[in-house]
C-alpha cells in the first residue's frame, strides 16, 4: 500500500506554523467551528468570544474553509483601508446562484474586477450623484407622505397597532422602484415584492454546502425555496424590462424617461445606443442583476434601520421628546410643514439619533470579503482565499471605544464629528473602502427625512398597555439584523405632516 500524504493547504500550513489567528477550542471533525455559529446570531456569538476570550481577531475553520472575523476598529482599518485592494473580493456563496443572478454578474456578489467597476461607476454616476439625489427628492418625499397616510388609515385613525416593518418595506420598495424605472412596483405586478424580499432575507445565508461541499444535498429543500423566490422577483424585473422595451419601440428617444433603467437598457449588448463604448455594453443578466441589487440592497437594510429607530425612540421616551422638541422648534409647532433634506442642517439631534441607531443596529452586521492573495494582518498571515468577516455589530459596541456601549444615547456624539460613511472605523455601518455601500447617502437621506416626519406626525404608543421597559429588542438569526419580534405600535396623530 502506498500512502499518499495530502498536500496541506496554505491555510493549514499557516495554522500549523501558528500564523493563523486562534479560534475557539473544540473544533468539530468535518464541521470545524460551524456548530459554534449555530448557537445564536453569529455576529453576537463572535462578539462575545472576542470580548471574553479570543481577542479582536478570531480564526475559524468552517468545514473545509478558513475564515477570520474582525471585531475591532484598528483591525477593520487594516482590512478596509491598508489592505483594501487585496480584500476587495466577495466570496461566492451558493445562495448567490439561487437567489441572485449568479456570481460576477452584478455589483454585490462579484469579485473585484473591471465589470464590477463598470456597474459601480454607472450606479455612482447615474443614481447616487448629489444632483440626481436632489432631482429625485420630490419622489422620496411623496413616498413618505404616502407612508404617513397609510399608517393613519391602517391604524384606523391612530386607534390600532400596526406592524411597522411592513409599511417601511413597501415605502422603500416604491421609492427604489420609482428611482429605477419611474414607476411603482404595483405598476409591474410587484405589489407583493416587499414580502418576497423579507422572505428572501430569511433564506439568504451561507448553507452547509458552502463549507462542506459533499453535504450540499442537505441544502436542496432550501435551494428550492430560494429558487422559488428568485423566480418571483425575476418575473417582476422581466415585466419592468418588457414594458420599457415596448415603450422604446413607440416613443422617440428624447421622450423616454431619463431614469436608471434607461441608462442600463441603452447599454444592452444586442440593442445598444451607438454612442456607447463596446467595453461598456451590458449583458441581459448584468442588467437584471444590477436592478435586483439596487432593489434588494436598498430596501430591506433601510427598512430595518427605520424599524429599529422607532423601537429605540419608543423605548427611550426622553430621547423621543428631545427629538420632537427639536423638530417643533425648527419647523414651527402646529404647522403642517413637511421635513425635507433642506431642513436637516437645522436638526442636529436627529443626526445623532440616526448615528446611534446605526451604531447599535447595523443592518448588515457581519459583511464578507475574501483575500485575493496572502495578507499580513496584525501578526498573522491570512492565506489567499481566506474568508474575512467584518463584525460591524461588535465594533459599534466595543466597550474600549464606546462608554456604556449597550445604551441608546445619541448625546454620546455631542461635540464629535464622526462620519458614518466609512471614514471613521469605530462606526462603519456602511462598510468602507472600495466596496463601501454605494447607497449610503441615499439611505441616510431616507432615514433622516422619514424619521423626522414620523416623529412630527405621530405620538407613538405600544399596544395592550405594554410598557416601553418590556420591549423585546433581540434579533433573529440571519445575515441582516432583523428584529426577533416585529415592532407593533400605534401611531396617534399629532399634526398632519
Ligand atoms: C441603512 C441602510 C444600508 C446599510 C446599513 C447598508 C450597508 C451596506 C454594507 C455594510 C455593505 C458592504 C460594504 C463593504 O463591503 O465594505 C453594503 C454594500 C452595498 N450596498 Fe448598502 N446599505 C444600506 C443601504 C443601501 C442602499 C439604499 C443601496 C442602494 C440603493 C445599497 C446598495 C448596496 C450595494 C449595491 C452594495 C454592494 C457594494 C459592492 O459590493 O461593491 N445599500 N451596504
The pLDDT of residue 132: 93
Residue 433 Cα: closest atom of ligand 1: 16
As a CATH number, domain 10-42+52-393+406-493 is 1.10.630.10
* Burial class of residue 187 in the structure, from the number of CB atoms within 10 Å of its CB (0-12 exposed, 13-18 middle, 19+ buried): middle
Residues of the chain with pLDDT under 50: 1-5, 496-497
Counting from 1 in the atom list of ligand 1, the atom nearest the Cα of 295 is: 30
Best of 100, 260, 297 for a ligand 1 pocket test (most atoms within 8 Å of beta carbon): 297
Binding site members? 437
ipTM of the complex as predicted: 0.99
Atom of ligand 1 nearest to the CA of 304: 1
Q: Against a cut of 0.90, is the pTM above it?
A: yes
- Give the per-residue pLDDT at 11: 62
Q: How far apart are CA 63 and CA 29, in angstroms?
A: 8
Binding-site sequence positions for heme = 437
Distance 430 CA to ligand 1 centre (A): 6
Spacing, Cα 85 to ligand 1 middle (Å)? 18
Phi, psi of 388, rounded to the nearest 5 degrees: -125, 120
Pocket test for ligand 1, best of 91, 302, 365, 430 (most atoms within 8 A of CB): 430
Q: What are the residue boundaries of the structural domains of the chain, listed by start?
A: 10-42+52-393+406-493
**Atom nearest to 447 CA in ligand 1:** 1
Read off φ and ψ for residue 204, nearest 5 degrees: -75, 105
pLDDT at 1: 36
Ligand 1 interacting residues, C-beta cut-off 6 A: 107-108, 120, 176, 293-294, 297-298, 301-302, 305, 362-364, 367, 429-433, 435-439, 442-443
Task: List the residue whose alpha carbon is closest to atom 1 of ligand 1.
Answer: 302
Ligand 1 closest atom vs CA 305? 1
Amino acid at each position: 500500500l502506498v500512502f499518499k500524504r495530502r498536500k496541506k493547504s496554505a491555510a493549514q500550513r499557516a495554522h500549523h506554523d501558528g500564523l493563523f489567528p486562534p479560534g475557539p477550542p473544540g473544533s468539530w471533525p468535518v464541521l470545524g467551528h460551524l456548530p459554534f455559529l449555530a448557537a445564536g446570531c453569529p455576529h453576537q456569538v463572535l462578539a462575545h468570544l472576542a470580548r471574553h476570550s479570543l481577542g479582536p481577531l478570531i480564526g475559524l475553520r468552517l468545514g473545509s474553509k478558513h475564515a477570520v472575523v474582525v471585531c475591532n476598529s484598528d483591525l477593520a482599518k487594516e482590512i478596509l483601508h491598508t489592505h483594501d485592494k487585496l480584500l476587495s473580493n466577495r466570496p461566492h456563496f451558493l445562495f448567490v446562484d439561487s437567489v441572485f443572478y449568479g456570481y460576477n454578474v452584478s455589483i454585490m456578489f462579484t469579485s473585484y474586477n473591471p465589470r464590477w467597476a463598470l456597474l459601480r461607476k454607472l450606479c455612482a454616476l447615474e443614481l447616487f450623484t448629489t444632483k440626481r439625489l436632489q432631482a429625485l427628492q420630490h419622489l422620496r418625499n411623496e413616498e413618505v407622505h404616502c407612508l404617513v397616510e397609510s399608517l393613519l388609515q391602517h391604524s384606523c385613525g391612530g386607534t390600532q397597532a400596526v406592524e411597522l416593518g411592513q409599511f417601511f418595506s413597501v415605502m422603500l420598495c416604491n421609492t427604489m422602484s420609482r428611482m429605477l424605472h419611474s414607476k411603482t412596483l404595483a405598476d409591474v405586478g410587484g405589489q407583493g415584492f416587499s414580502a418576497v424580499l423579507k422572505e428572501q432575507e430569511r433564506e439568504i445565508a451561507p448553507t452547509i454546502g458552502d463549507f462542506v461541499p459533499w453535504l450540499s444535498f442537505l441544502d436542496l429543500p432550501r435551494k428550492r425555496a430560494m429558487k422559488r423566490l428568485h423566480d418571483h422577483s425575476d418575473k417582476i424585473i422581466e415585466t419592468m424590462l418588457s414594458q420599457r422595451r415596448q415603450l422604446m419601440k413607440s416613443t422617440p428617444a428624447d421622450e423616454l424617461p431619463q431614469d436608471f433603467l434607461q441608462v442600463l437598457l441603452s447599454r444592452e449588448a444586442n440593442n445598444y445606443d451607438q454612442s456607447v463604448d463596446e467595453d461598456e455594453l451590458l449583458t441581459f443578466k448584468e442588467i437584471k442583476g444590477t436592478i435586483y441589487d439596487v432593489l434588494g440592497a436598498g430596501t430591506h437594510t433601510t427598512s430595518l434601520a427605520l424599524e429599529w429607530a422607532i423601537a429605540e425612540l419608543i423605548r427611550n421616551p426622553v430621547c423621543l421628546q428631545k427629538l420632537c422638541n427639536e423638530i417643533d422648534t425648527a419647523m414651527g409647532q402646529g404647522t403642517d410643514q413637511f421635513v425635507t433634506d433642506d431642513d436637516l442642517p437645522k436638526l442636529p439631534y436627529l443626526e445623532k439619533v440616526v448615528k446611534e441607531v446605526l451604531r447599535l443596529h447595523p443592518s448588515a452586521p457581519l459583511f464578507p470579503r475574501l483575500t485575493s492573495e496572502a495578507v499580513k494582518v496584525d501578526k498573522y498571515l491570512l492565506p489567499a482565499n481566506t474568508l474575512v468577516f467584518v463584525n460591524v455589530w461588535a465594533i459599534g459596541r466595543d466597550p474600549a471605544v464606546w462608554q456604556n456601549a449597550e445604551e441608546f444615547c445619541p448625546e454620546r456624539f455631542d461635540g464629535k464629528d464622526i462620519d458614518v460613511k466609512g471614514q471613521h472605523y469605530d462606526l462603519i455601518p456602511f462598510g468602507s473602502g472600495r466596496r463601501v455601500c454605494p447607497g449610503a447617502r441615499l439611505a441616510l437621506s431616507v432615514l433622516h427625512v422619514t424619521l423626522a416626519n414620523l416623529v412630527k406626525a405621530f405620538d407613538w404608543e405600544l399596544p395592550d398597555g405594554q410598557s416601553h421597559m418590556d420591549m423585546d429588542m433581540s434579533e433573529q438569526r440571519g445575515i441582516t439584523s432583523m428584529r426577533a419580534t416585529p415592532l407593533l405600535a400605534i401611531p396617534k396623530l399629532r399634526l398632519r405632516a
